[in-house]
Amino acid sequence: MAFEVYIPRSSGENLVSITKHHIRLGNKMADKLNGDQVEVAYDKDTNKLRIRGVDEGGIKVTKNKIGARGIFNYFDIDVLKGSFVAEYDQEDNAVYVDLNRRK
């Protein structure tokens, strides 16, 4: 018999997971935003989300989760469940999520 060992994926990877109601940031991504308030923007030409850390007036991040049902409705994004590759831009203090690139 050949056994294959399960190795759990670290939640600290550069990933963003999307569910029907939430955007969940990986630990590394959430830590880089330096706070618990974000603004979310969408570029429909490139199908990318930008999640930028802000000091005030943003959406509250709780346990690395952003309530996103309203965001998906506002931008008319069909909910894409899964994990997506994300990149952090230090100059912009933002995480960019390419909704075309699943992990």
> Is 51 within 8 Å of 38 (Cβ atoms)?
yes
The model's pTM is 0.83
Q: Identify the pLDDT of residue 100.
A: 86
pLDDT, tens digit, 9 for 90 and up, residues 40-94 = 999 999 999 999 999 888 899 999 999 999 999 999 988 678 888 899 999 999 9
Q: Position 27: which residue type?
A: N
What are phi and psi for residue 59, nearest 5 degrees? Answer: -95, 135
> Is 24 within 8 Å of 97 (Cβ atoms)?
no
